[in-house]
Amino acid sequence: DVKVTQSSRYLVKRTGEKVFLECVQDMDHENMFWYRQDPGLGLRLIYFSYDVKMKEKGDIPEGYSVSREKKERFSLILESASTNQTSMYLCASSLGSGRTTDTQYFGPGTRLTVL
């Protein structure tokens, strides 16, 4: 079974702090994704990566950056956390290799609160 893990289930940070969210997958997937989930809005894509050191902006990249130095690890960085970034953050991965029909597999999520 695919396993996607996220470094924290719950996180509380203060406004202006730099925040790192880590995601690791163990199935040698090429694609990795960061979403945020807010009630009534579904999932919104922040960034995705289709290879090591490769990234593309999603729908809401402002205020976020990402890093993918190793295939299995994809990090989301909030450069200067703000209260409007309080949300549930979900990481996902999929097989890749140019296949657009791949299933995405999700981690348990990190609920971030910015005070």
Nearer to other proteins by C-beta: 3 or 18?
A: 3
Cα–Cα distances in angstroms (integers) from residue 71 to residues 46, 47, 52, in the given order: 19, 15, 5
- Interface with other proteins by CB under 8 A: which range of 13-21, 45-53, 68-76, 77-85? 45-53
Asked if 107 contacts 4 with a C-beta cutoff of 8 angstroms, the reply is yes
> Considering only residues 15, 108, 113, 115, which one is a binding residue for other proteins as defined by CB under 8 A?
108
31-59 burial, b if ≥16 CB within 10 A, otherwise e?
Answer: bbbbbbeeeeeebebbbbbbeeeebeebe
Nearer to other proteins by C-beta: 85 or 93?
A: 93
- For position 85 contacting other proteins by CB under 8 A, the verdict is no
- Interface with other proteins by CB under 8 A: which range of 13-21, 61-69, 71-79, 96-104? 96-104
> How far apart, in whole angstroms, are the C-alpha atoms of residue 59 and residue 37?
13
- Interface with other proteins by CB under 8 A: which range of 14-22, 34-42, 63-71, 78-86? 34-42
At its nearest, how many Å lie between other proteins and the CB of residue 79?
A: 23
Asked if 86 contacts 78 with a C-beta cutoff of 8 angstroms, the reply is no
Count of residues binding other proteins (CB under 8 A)?
29
Strand, helix or coil at 29? coil
